[in-house]
């Protein structure tokens, strides 16, 4: 993974010094709240319901074990012994003391981490495929491109004060694990007919108050022009995006208002000023960055390890875990493993300091000292030898990191909701806990099969509820917390060819204590209606939402 050079390190060290002085002046009354707000936001610091919240960047979800141990240490010394992995592959601390935040940033800088541009109206953390570099369906490794773009847009002076926040995602596989169609800019790395590498550029996607599937405005962009073309997109947005109404300020609103074709032409016209200019990527620059993403020192193994196969046959619990949490790998004899952070009784994405330290140990012992954070709020060990999977499973199970539920209903994505977030209309965590308890029976869960359930506490959609097969949105109704249910959302192309889709709301919202029962009824309709091995999302597409509405509202009202 990318290692800072002297210039990178000096930049973040100096940023820590700057923010330490800004915080000192604010606490001394020398800066007003209005003065301090943009300064703290540019350093990832929010004022939340109970305390400041610090969001730390994990570029495209990559972590070294040393970095995860530092995060564990910060959770223990500066927070309440735990942290929360977000859907943007970041990590959040919910209880830091404002005066101590500069100390936290200084600690992060010692392991090449920071909180820069994790909030504010700027280009946020880049997200990507958590299986990048190892996925069997990968066409092009997106990591060097993501790192080049991260470096370009961090501290980019022209884009520090955009009309609104700006999110970008890159994917290089046939399965869209980065949800590129619901980002401000989504990039699919592809080959053209000549075998040349380029990008399919998607613009104007997003969730939130106005969910929109993005539009392809450039079917094939040679990779050398990634920076100049994205510059042109941001320049058009910066110039014409609305600043009078924050609810209409995202680029998706501009693209929708102009129409994708008109927007694409405006970008094309703008691009002519910079195309082939100094920002054109060279092979030498690509090679410099790509050198940080070379494969680790794999050993030569057989494709199917005999011991692994024997354990699959002899231990049903291990086989069940392997069927959900172990994933194929490019390298023969290796696998990628998901450490689940969705154990019953734990908020989705929450992890304790002890678990982080233990996961770092697992990374050192089994996966070349590296981990990934998925946007589904789990941890990934990307390079585990098959012969070590049984031993890894036993240790992960003892750490409560081996819940065999990846891709299933209890692998819920959820924002922190009203328990922490000042923007939330309703709590997410109690809803997730109630649903997890209702579907605790693993046999039933495996019978239900593949099903994505996403929960957001408000219209900002941090839990990506619009693209959940089942989406749950917390809403305010006369000062009370209610929950709206949607069906049929999908984050992007998968191995079955299912494209990105926004879910449809099934009807009036439900009280908190009704939600788990409603989900059970929806799953019941699916089990009644499904054909053969049909997945939940495919049944919804085939029969529509009416059968679900009839079952849910017939008994609820």
Q: pLDDT tens digits for 305-321? A: 999 999 999 999 999 99
| pLDDT score at 49 | 72
56-60, 163-167, 320-324, 427-431: which has the minimum mean pLDDT?
A: 427-431
Q: Give the tokens for residue 206.
A: 């997003």
Nearest-angstrom CA–CA distance, 277 and 262: 24
The Cβ-side half-sphere exposure at 368, using a 13 Å CA radius, reads 18
For the domain covering 134-289, report its CATH number.
Answer: 3.30.413.10
For the domain covering 306-399, report its CATH number.
Answer: 3.90.480.20
Confidence category of residue 199, pLDDT binned at 50, 70, 90 = very high
Average pLDDT in the 451-470 region? 92
**Cβ atoms < 10 Å from Cβ of 512:** 16
Q: Give the tokens for residue 210.
A: 């106005």
Q: Give the tokens for residue 35.
A: 């003065």
Nearest-angstrom CA–CA distance, 260 and 337: 39
pTM of the model: 0.94
Residue ranges covered by each domain of the chain: 6-110, 134-289, 306-399, 413-553
pLDDT tens-digit map of 522-555 = 999 999 999 999 999 999 999 999 999 999 998 6
Angle between helices 389-398 and 306-314 (to 10 degrees): 50
| pLDDT score at 557 | 47
Angle between helices 143-153 and 283-290 (to 10 degrees): 110
Share in percent of the chain as helix, strand, coil (round to 5) = 40, 20, 40
Which ranges of 128-259 would DSSP assign to H, the alpha helix?
A: 143-153, 226-240, 251-258
Angle between helices 226-240 and 251-258 (to 10 degrees): 80
196-200, 232-236, 287-291, 303-307: which has the minimum mean pLDDT?
A: 303-307
Does 95 have pLDDT greater than 50?
A: yes
The SS3 call for residue 84 is strand
For the domain covering 6-110, report its CATH number.
Answer: 3.90.480.20
How far is it between the farthest Cα atoms of the chain? Answer: 68
| pLDDT score at 555 | 60
| pLDDT score at 53 | 92
**Torsion sign (Cα): 444, 549, 177, 125:** negative
pLDDT tens-digit map of 481-517 = 999 999 999 999 988 888 999 999 999 999 999 999 9
| pLDDT score at 556 | 47
pLDDT tens-digit map of 68-79 = 999 999 999 999
Mean residue pLDDT across the chain:
94
Nearest-angstrom CA–CA distance, 371 and 379: 7
Domains 134-289 and 413-553 share a fold: yes
Phi, psi of 389 (to 5 degrees): -65, -40
For 413-553, the fitting CATH number among 3.40.50.1360, 1.10.645.10, 3.30.413.10, 1.10.940.10 is 3.30.413.10
| pLDDT score at 554 | 87
Confidence category of residue 97, pLDDT binned at 50, 70, 90 = very high
């Amino acid at each position: 993974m990318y290692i800072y050079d002297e210039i990178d390190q000096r930049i973040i060290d100096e940023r820590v010094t700057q923010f330490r002085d800004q915080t000192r002046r604010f606490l001394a009354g020398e800066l007003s709240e209005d003065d301090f707000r943009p300064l703290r936001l540019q350093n990832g610091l929010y004022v939340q319901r109970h305390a400041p919240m610090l969001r730390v960047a994990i570029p495209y979800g990559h972590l070294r074990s040393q970095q995860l141990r530092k995060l564990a240490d910060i959770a223990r010394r500066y927070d309440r012994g735990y942290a929360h992995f977000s859907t943007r592959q970041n990590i959040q601390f919910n209880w830091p003391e404002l005066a101590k935040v500069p100390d936290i940033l200084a600690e992060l800088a010692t392991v090449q981490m920071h909180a820069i541009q994790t909030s504010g109206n700027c280009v946020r953390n880049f997200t990507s495929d958590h299986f990048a570099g190892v996925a069997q369906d990968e066409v092009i490794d997106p990591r060097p491109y993501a790192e080049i773009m991260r470096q370009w847009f961090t501290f980019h002076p022209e884009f520090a004060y955009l009309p609104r926040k700006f999110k970008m995602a890159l994917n290089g596989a046939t399965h869209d694990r980065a949800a590129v169609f619901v980002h401000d800019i989504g990039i699919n790395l592809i080959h053209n007919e000549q075998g040349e590498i380029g990008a399919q550029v998607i613009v104007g996607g997003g969730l939130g108050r106005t969910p929109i599937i993005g539009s392809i405005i450039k079917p094939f962009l040679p990779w050398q022009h990634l920076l100049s073309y994205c510059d042109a997109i941001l320049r058009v947005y910066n110039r014409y995006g609305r600043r009078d109404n924050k609810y209409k300020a995202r680029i998706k609103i501009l693209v929708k208002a102009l129409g994708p074709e008109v927007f694409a032409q405006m970008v094309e016209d703008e691009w002519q000023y910079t195309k082939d200019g100094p920002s054109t990527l060279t092979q030498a620059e690509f090679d410099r960055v790509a050198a940080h993403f070379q494969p680790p020192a794999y050993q030569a193994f057989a494709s199917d390890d005999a011991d692994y196969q024997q354990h699959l046959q002899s231990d049903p619990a291990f086989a069940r875990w392997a069927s959900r949490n172990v994933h194929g790998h490019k390298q023969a004899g290796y696998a990628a493993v998901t450490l689940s952070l969705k154990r019953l009784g734990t908020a989705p994405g929450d992890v304790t300091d002890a678990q982080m330290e233990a996961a770092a140990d697992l990374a050192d012992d089994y996966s070349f000292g590296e981990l990934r954070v998925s946007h589904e709020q789990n941890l990934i060990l990307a390079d585990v030898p098959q012969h070590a999977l049984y031993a890894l499973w036993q240790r992960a199970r003892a750490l409560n990191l081996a819940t065999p539920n990846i891709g299933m209903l209890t692998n819920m994505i959820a924002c922190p909701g009203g328990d922490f977030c000042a923007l939330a209309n309703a709590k997410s965590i109690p809803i997730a806990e109630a649903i997890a308890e209702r579907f605790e029976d693993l046999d039933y869960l495996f019978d239900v099969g593949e099903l994505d359930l996403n929960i957001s506490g408000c219209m900002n959609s941090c839990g990506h509820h619009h693209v959940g097969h089942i989406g749950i949105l917390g809403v305010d109704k006369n000062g009370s917390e209610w929950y709206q249910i949607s069906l049929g959302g999908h984050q992007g192309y998968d191995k079955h060819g299912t494209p990105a889709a926004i879910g449809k709301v099934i009807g009036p919202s439900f009280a908190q204590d009704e939600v788990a029962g409603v989900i059970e009824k929806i799953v019941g309709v699916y089990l009644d209606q499904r054909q053969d091995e049909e997945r939940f999302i495919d049944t919804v597409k085939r029969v529509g939402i009416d059968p679900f509405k009839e079952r849910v509202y017939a008994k609820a009202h």
